Amino acid sequence: MDDLASKVLTGDARSIGRLITLVENNSPDAVKEMKKLHKHTGNAHVIGVTGVMGSGKSTLILELTLAYRKEGKKIGIIAIDPTSPFTGGALLGDRIRMMELSTDSGVFIRSMGTRGMIGGLTSAIYDVVEIFDAAGMDIIFIETVGVGQDEVDIVKIADTTLVVLIPGLGDSIQTIKAGLMEIADVYVINKADKPGVEQTVAELEAMLDLASHINWRIPIVPTSAKAKKGISLLIQKITEHQEFSKKGQTFETRRRQRYEAELIEIIRKRLMSFIFDENKLKGKVDCCIDQICKKELDPYSAADEILGTMLKK
Amino acid sequence: MDDLASKVLTGDARSIGRLITLVENNSPDAVKEMKKLHKHTGNAHVIGVTGVMGSGKSTLILELTLAYRKEGKKIGIIAIDPTSPFTGGALLGDRIRMMELSTDSGVFIRSMGTRGMIGGLTSAIYDVVEIFDAAGMDIIFIETVGVGQDEVDIVKIADTTLVVLIPGLGDSIQTIKAGLMEIADVYVINKADKPGVEQTVAELEAMLDLASHINWRIPIVPTSAKAKKGISLLIQKITEHQEFSKKGQTFETRRRQRYEAELIEIIRKRLMSFIFDENKLKGKVDCCIDQICKKELDPYSAADEILGTMLKK
């Protein structure tokens, strides 16, 4: 244990896995090691991949990974599956395909649930990104499934966000686009061998015509991940976005946002464990909840009391 | 403004709307009024309605509301739409149908986004439940769309949770059931006029046979909300669950959970505004983030510094 961080910096797979487990278990040892890693981070390009269920995100990430591997790049994949917060589970077929990568020592895959007391992306994700980055991964993919808050949160972490759609979604596209619209750096129309691609592209283009652009017109890339089509064009667009970001303020602004979100998350987690610590506030909190249940105290006044106990001044 | 709470207690629609707006805007006046309401709450039965997109949840809530209205019950509906965190939007057809209710003074509808700095259900939802409850609503529906953390969070608020499925989802059911499995008190198979109902029921029954039951076997109710079929059976099952909860510990345990979640949320919100308050910690936080960006400081040590500044001891 005495220097897990140094081993992570060499890219040692077992140490990476061990530190992630420590982080997920909120071990105090994890914090000690994490503190050593930060100054070695900042080189990985973080790519968020989001979109509707069944759009083939995993297969797309698989193909992108295989292509990046040919360039010798090291890849980290973080799969977040909010569809199974309790048990963790994905379609077996997807898992098997992802496992093809598991014998490649230049690829590291970690799947995480969205557990945690208060919603959003699991807080450990920031740590896993830092660990992968420090361990020398060149590209880190973060895959989120479904629509909702997770997709908004991913923007705070990713340098480039891919929104994956499929042709002919019709009404569904109407429903999701409001939320996904604003977070995309690149649109991917996957399963582009299916009918309706031209129409979906045309609809998106029309939508983009109406939106404002700050020098970056969001490209629309049709792919067929299963047939390995469109992957090199997609990589080209990702690279272009990366170059665009670094030329202007986008990259710096987003990194700042990520660190801000990470810092807030760490503070939130610490404060919550402070509140629920048996030796500190837990007794007071439990007593307040009892009183709230009996209507002797209201939640806002209870919060006043608890905060008064913990905060300076 | 001097006594908005009293007006809310009389069920005055304008005052209810005004207080909700104050709450959503994090107005300090809202807190003052909210404190007065809590002791008048606890009578409303909160029904969470969740499930896949396109399962007809809104129509189901509409029909349940019409049925409850015939019994003279007052209804509050809170629609949360995580598919549009930025702009707010739903399918027009659904909205028009919901608007049928808007001329009924015994029905109050509020739609909310999942905004908020850190994911999960929008924090104002606890307040809206308290406001509706204090204003004399007998039943409060909370509708969430999609799958993910929101569905887990809804359990912390609802007395009874309906999970709405549709026949013949096949693979999708596999994907979602892990997450939705554990939160259902009643399964609804809506659109039961479509083929595949028997199979979906059989699959769910088989799943339930494997699960453990603490005296409550989750009922499966096929409905066709559009054709107004199955609504009275569903209401019967909701009532049975309500009676079951109140006979045992379930009801008390859940209410306690709700108040705990609410208290934590209020504390979290207060702490975050403390951290971002110009006159308090904002300068320090910004400075820390600068140092994190420059790798002069790591996020964990920054959190130590900030917490040291704000916490007693």
Q: What residues of chain B lie within 8 A of the CB of A123, using their CB?
A: none
pLDDT at residue A311 greater than cutoff 70: yes
Name the pLDDT band for A136 (thresholds 50, 70, 90): very high
Write the pLDDT tens digit of every residue in B270-292. Answer: 888 888 877 778 899 999 999 99
Question: Which CATH superfamily includes the segment(s) A36-259?
Answer: P-loop containing nucleotide triphosphate hydrolases (3.40.50.300)
- Best mutation target among A151, A289, A290, A312 (most B Cβ atoms within 10 Å) is A289
Largest CA distance in chain A: 66
Name the pLDDT band for A10 (thresholds 50, 70, 90): very high
Q: What percent of chain A has pLDDT over 90?
A: 48
The whole-number average pLDDT for the span A250-254 is 91
- Give me the residue spans of the domains in chain A: 36-259, 276-310
B126 touches chain A (CB under 8 A): yes
Rounded to whole angstroms, what are the CA distances from B147 to A116, A229, B181?
16, 30, 12
pLDDT at residue A20 greater than cutoff 80: yes
Q: What percent of chain B has pLDDT over 70?
A: 82
Write the pLDDT tens digit of every residue in A192-213. Answer: 998 888 988 888 888 788 776 6
A38, A308, A268, A131: which is closest to B306 by C-alpha? A268
Give the best-scoring range by mean pLDDT among A68-82, A150-164, A231-245.
A231-245
A144 touches chain B (CB under 8 A): no
The whole-number average pLDDT for the span B289-304 is 96
- Residue B94, pLDDT score: 56
**Residue B209 or residue A289, greater confidence:** A289
The whole-number average pLDDT for the span A50-58 is 78
Q: What residues of chain A lie within 8 A of the CB of B94, using their CB?
A: none
> How far off is chain A from B222, nearest CA to CA, in Å?
23
Beta bridge partners of A229: A224
Topology (CATH) of B37-256? Rossmann fold (3.40.50)
A295 touches chain B (CB under 8 A): yes
Tokens of B297: 């400081």
Please indicate whether, in this complex, the C-beta atoms of B150 and A149 are within 8 angstroms of each other: yes
- Residue B118, pLDDT score: 37
- Residue B204, pLDDT score: 83
Nearest chain A residue to B286 by CA distance is A260
pLDDT at residue B75 greater than cutoff 90: yes
Per DSSP, the residues of chain A read -TTHHHHHHTT-HHHHHHHHHHHHTT-HHHHHHHHHHGGG-S-SEEEEEEE-TTS-HHHHHHHHHHHHHHTT--EEEEEE-TT-TTT----HHHHHHHHGGGG-TTEEEEEE---SSS-SS-THHHHHHHHHHHTT-SEEEEEE-BSSHHHHHHTTT-SEEEEEE-TT-THHHHHHHHHHHTT-SEEEE-STTSTTHHHHHHHHHHHHHHS--SS-PPPEEE-BTTTTBSHHHHHHHHHHHHHHHHHSSHHHHHHHHHHHHHHHHHHHHHHHHHHT-TTTTHHHHHHHHHHHHTTSS-HHHHHHHHHHHHB--
Mean of all residue pLDDT scores within chain B: 83
Please indicate whether, in this complex, the C-beta atoms of B42 and A295 are within 8 angstroms of each other: yes
The whole-number average pLDDT for the span B241-257 is 93
- Best mutation target among A8, A35, A58, A83 (most B Cβ atoms within 10 Å) is A83
**Residue B61 or residue B54, greater confidence:** B61
Q: Which residues of A50-85 are buried (b: 16+ CB within 10 A; e: fewer)?
A: bbbbebbbbbbbbbbbbebbeeebbbbbbbbbbbbb
B114 touches chain A (CB under 8 A): yes
- Residue B18, pLDDT score: 94
Q: To which residue do tokens 């609503």 refer? A: B137
pLDDT at residue A52 greater than cutoff 90: no
pLDDT at residue A58 greater than cutoff 60: yes
ipTM of the complex: 0.86
Write the pLDDT tens digit of every residue in B82-141. Answer: 443 222 344 555 556 666 777 888 999 887 765 443 344 567 889 999 999 999 999 999
pLDDT at residue B175 greater than cutoff 50: no
pLDDT at residue A117 greater than cutoff 50: no
Write the pLDDT tens digit of every residue in A87-113. Answer: 234 455 555 666 677 788 899 988 776
